[in-house]
Each structure stands twice: as C-alpha cells, then as structure tokens.
Amino acid sequence: MRVQRTSSGQRSPTRALLLGLIITLAAIVAYSAYITVQISGLRKLQSDMVDRNRKDSLQLLRLQNDLNSVALAMRDMLDTGEPYPLSAWEAQFDRLKGDLDAALRLEEENAEARRTPEQRNYLRQQLTQFWDAMDRMFVLARNGKESEAREQIRLSLQAREAALSTAVSRLLVENNEGEQLAAAQIEAIYNRVQRQVFLFLAATLLAIVFTGLYLIQTNREIFARLATLSEQRSELAQKLISTQESTLRHISRELHDEFGQVLTAIGSLLGRLGNQAPEGSPLREDLQEVREIAQSTLNNIRTLSQALHPVLLEEQGLESTLDWYIPTVSHQMGLVLHYEKAGTTFPVETAAGVHIYRVLQEALNNVSRHSGEREAWVRLRFLRSGLEMDVEDHGKGFAPQAAHQGIGLMGMRERAELIGGVLELIPLETGGTLVRLLVPREKAEAHGG
C-alpha cells in the first residue's frame, strides 16, 4: 500500500482524517438505525400491547358490569315478594344482551392478536349458551310456569352467570399481568437505549479527543516544518540577494575600472593626437569629435556602474548616495522628485544601506512605470528608534492582490526582512500609494557609529 506523503517527505494527515471521518459517519448511521429500531419497537409495544390492552380491559369491565347487572336482576327475579311476573324482566334482559354483545365484539377486536381462536370463542360460546338458557326460561315464564322458570334460574342461569363472571375476571387479571409485563419491557428498552446513548456519547467524546490530539500534533509538526521552510527560504533569499549584489558589484567594478580606464586612455590618446594635428584641419575636428564620443561613453559607463552598485555607499554612506542618486534618477526617468530629510543623522551600515538603496530604486521604478504620475516625494527620517523612508506618489494606486504577487515588491519585502525591517504599502485616500520602509536602529546603524 502506498503511503501518501507531502512533497517534503512528511506523512500527510489527510488519509487518517478521512478514515476517522468515515468511521465516525458509519458509527452515527449505525447508532441512528439502532435507535430507530428501538423506538419503532417501543411504539409498536405501546400501540399493540399497552393501548389495546387498556381498551380490552375497558370492554371486560363493561362485560363484568353488565354481568353484575344480570346477576342482580336474577336475584330480584327469585324474590317471590316481587309484584311483577318474570316475563316483565324480558325487556331489561334484551337491553343487557345488546350491550353485552357489543362489548364482547369490541373486546374480541382488541384481544385478537393476543389470544388463540379457541380462547376467543370460549367466552362467546358461554355467553350464547347463557342467553339460550335465558330464552328458555322466559318461554316458561310466558307460559305461566314461573316456578319452573325460577328453578331454572336457580339451578342453571346463576351458575352460568357465575362462570361468565369468573372468565371475565380471569381475563382482566391476564390483562393486568400483560400490562405489567409491557411496562417492564418498556422500562428495559428505555434503560437499554439510555445505556447505549451514554456509551455512544462516551465513544464520540473519545473520538473527538483523539482526533483533536491528532490534529494538534499534526498542526504542530506542520507549523514546525513551515517554520523550518521559512528559515530556509529566508536563508536562500539572503544568499540569492547576496549573490546578486556580489555579481552587480563585480560588474560595476569591471565597468568602472576596466572600461573606464580604457576609455580614459583613449580620450587622452585622442587629445594628444588632436594637438599634433594642424589647427583647423579636418583631422583635428574628427579626433575631437571621437574624443567627445569616448567621454560621453565614459560618463554613461560611470552612471551605469553607479546604478549597478553605488560605490558611494562604501565610500561616503547612504545619505550622500541618496543625495547623488535622487537628482540623477529624476533626470533619467523624467520625474519631479521632492526629497526631504529630517532628524539627527547617524551612519548607516553598508549592507543595510545597500538594501535601503535597492528598495528606493524599486519604489521609484514602480512610480515611473505604474503610477501614471511624473511627480513623487521621497522622505528620509532619522529617528531615535531607527530609520524611516517614504516614497509617495499621487497616481492611480495599486491592487492589493496584484501587489503581493509582483516580483519587485516581493524583492522589496525580502530586503526589508533581511535587515529586520518592515515594508508597508499604504493606499492613500486621495489616490496614489505610500511605500514606507521602517528599519530598527540597531539593524541600520553602523558599528561604532
């Protein structure tokens, strides 16, 4: 199995985090399914057992109440002191029969799932037999055989009613026991779900803790790696800039020393040859013209040499270099530069001066190329805390997103960081840009200065 790694050789946390996410989602789905099944079972238990059991009990109580009414009526019928004949009770028994039949039908509907067909038919058969015997008793009563009718009540009907009451009471007891059992099952489900909730929460918290610790450790490693890369980048940038400055210094000296000396020698030779030529001769005029070309070339080479690496920085310091450079670049670029100095001056270390000088160069190049204005302000302030240099223009400004991507601006920032300074790009409300370089005094000031 290939292990995913970053470009720096470090193990990527993506796979572990993705695996943790999949496991967490799977656990949530499984737990949700489990809870759904438990709630569904609980709902079914409540609806199929508890609710129907209560409805069934209500109908059984209704049956029991009607049977009690039948028993009381039969007791009154056995009382010979009653002035009414037995046939007068028939209407009352018809009403009780209708109510008993309705109650029994509802009771059978609610108890259908919990009883066998034999159990369901037993009560109906007993009730049917009871009413058949009751009908025979009323036939005897209507035929004037009240003594035989009372005897049938005493010997048969009361016994049948007692059996029916006992059967109904037994069913009520079974319903109560079933309700207690259902309540126990519901309590067990609640307890089981509660335990599972606690276990799931504990597992989730542990997963969050382990994931958090893993992320913290991974982030620490990443930030440590980034810090190392940042240090390496700074070192590389410093070496590149140092190499660049060394190369420019070498080219500048070659131009100044080699080509400058050659052109100076050519100018001297042309001067001597011109003095030997006759006054007013064409040769003398040609030699003078060539000498002027050589001198102009020498001046251009010296200017280019100073632009590549200002020797003045090493010989006279930053302040004198800027005093020379700003008028020169103003003439070369066609800019109107307003140069201001403030504060008590102090000598600037040469390496720091080179970086400050390059930042000024790039800032003025940006004014010339991008601002759309031909006027700018350069301010150099010597402060107690350090050195501050501003380059301000009132042009069209810059887009912040593009500003961070420009190679020139990136170089300015790198140079500022190398001398412990801060480069700020401040858009002006009136339009334009203020480039501000802040260098701490301990980084800018020359040793012993």
pLDDT digits (tens, 9 = 90+) for 130-158: 999 999 998 998 898 888 988 998 989 99
152's CB contacts (< 8 A; 6+ apart) are: 133, 136, 137, 140
Is the confidence at residue 369, as pLDDT, over 80?
yes
Are 208 and 329 part of one and the same domain? no
Tokens for 444, please give them: 């800018």
Query: Domain ends where: 202, 217, 232?
Result: 217
DSSP symbols for 404-440: TT-HHHHHHHHHHHHTT-EEEEEE-TTSSEEEEEEEE
Distance CA(340)–CA(392), nearest Å, equals 12
pLDDT digits (tens, 9 = 90+) for 90-111: 899 999 999 999 988 888 887 7
Asked whether residue 90 is assigned to any structural domain, the reply reads yes
User: Which stretch of 26-30, 113-117, 341-345, 361-365 has the lowest confidence by average pLDDT?
Assistant: 113-117
Is the confidence at residue 5, as pLDDT, over 50?
no
Asked whether residue 397 is assigned to any structural domain, the reply reads yes
Q: How confident is the model at residue 337 (pLDDT cuts 50, 70, 90)?
A: very high
Asked whether residue 299 is assigned to any structural domain, the reply reads no
Asked whether residue 173 is assigned to any structural domain, the reply reads yes
Burial zone of 348 (CB within 10 Å; 0-12 exposed, 13-18 middle, 19+ buried): buried
Locus of tokens 């009780």:
96
Tokens for 369, please give them: 């190329």
Asked whether residue 259 is assigned to any structural domain, the reply reads no
pLDDT digits (tens, 9 = 90+) for 413-441: 888 988 889 999 999 888 889 999 999 99
Identify whether the C-beta of residue 384 lies closer than 8 Å to the C-beta of residue 354: no
User: In the predicted model, what is the mean pLDDT of the chain?
Assistant: 82
pLDDT of amino acid 387: 93
Are 206 and 317 part of one and the same domain? no
Identify whether the C-beta of residue 426 lies closer than 8 Å to the C-beta of residue 436: yes
Query: Domain ends where: 161, 186, 217?
Result: 217
Are 72 and 213 part of one and the same domain? yes
What percent of the chain clears pLDDT 90, i.e. is strictly above it? 18
The better pLDDT of the pair 104, 2 is held by 104
Asked whether residue 140 is assigned to any structural domain, the reply reads yes
Is the confidence at residue 405, as pLDDT, over 60?
no
Asked whether residue 180 is assigned to any structural domain, the reply reads yes
Are 207 and 356 part of one and the same domain? no
Q: Looking at residue 49, which CATH number applies to its domain?
A: 1.20.120.30
The better pLDDT of the pair 442, 201 is held by 442
- Which residue, among 391, 402, 342, has the nearest Cα to 368 in the 3D structure? 391
Are 209 and 325 part of one and the same domain? no
Are 36 and 182 part of one and the same domain? yes
- Quote the domain boundaries for residue 393: 313-444
Is the confidence at residue 379, as pLDDT, over 90?
yes
Tokens for 245, please give them: 């400055």
Tokens for 222, please give them: 């990443």
Number of domains in the chain: 2
Burial zone of 7 (CB within 10 Å; 0-12 exposed, 13-18 middle, 19+ buried): exposed
Are 203 and 323 part of one and the same domain? no
Identify whether the C-beta of residue 111 lies closer than 8 Å to the C-beta of residue 120: yes
Is the confidence at residue 272, as pLDDT, over 60?
yes
- Which residue, among 201, 113, 29, has the nearest Cα to 37 in the 3D structure? 29
pLDDT digits (tens, 9 = 90+) for 166-193: 988 988 888 888 778 877 877 887 788 7
Query: Domain ends where: 197, 217, 237?
Result: 217
Is the confidence at residue 82, as pLDDT, over 80?
no
Are 157 and 24 part of one and the same domain? yes
Tokens for 253, please give them: 């000296």
Burial zone of 313 (CB within 10 Å; 0-12 exposed, 13-18 middle, 19+ buried): buried
The better pLDDT of the pair 407, 147 is held by 147
Distance CA(300)–CA(34), nearest Å, equals 88
Are 86 and 212 part of one and the same domain? yes
Task: Tell me the average pLDDT across 347-372.
Answer: 89
Is the confidence at residue 406, as pLDDT, over 70?
no
Are 320 and 177 part of one and the same domain? no
pLDDT of amino acid 69: 92
Are 29 and 178 part of one and the same domain? yes
Asked whether residue 384 is assigned to any structural domain, the reply reads yes
Is the confidence at residue 449, as pLDDT, over 60?
no
Distance CA(157)–CA(86), nearest Å, equals 14
Q: Looking at residue 320, which CATH number applies to its domain?
A: 3.30.565.10
pLDDT digits (tens, 9 = 90+) for 33-48: 877 877 777 677 666 6
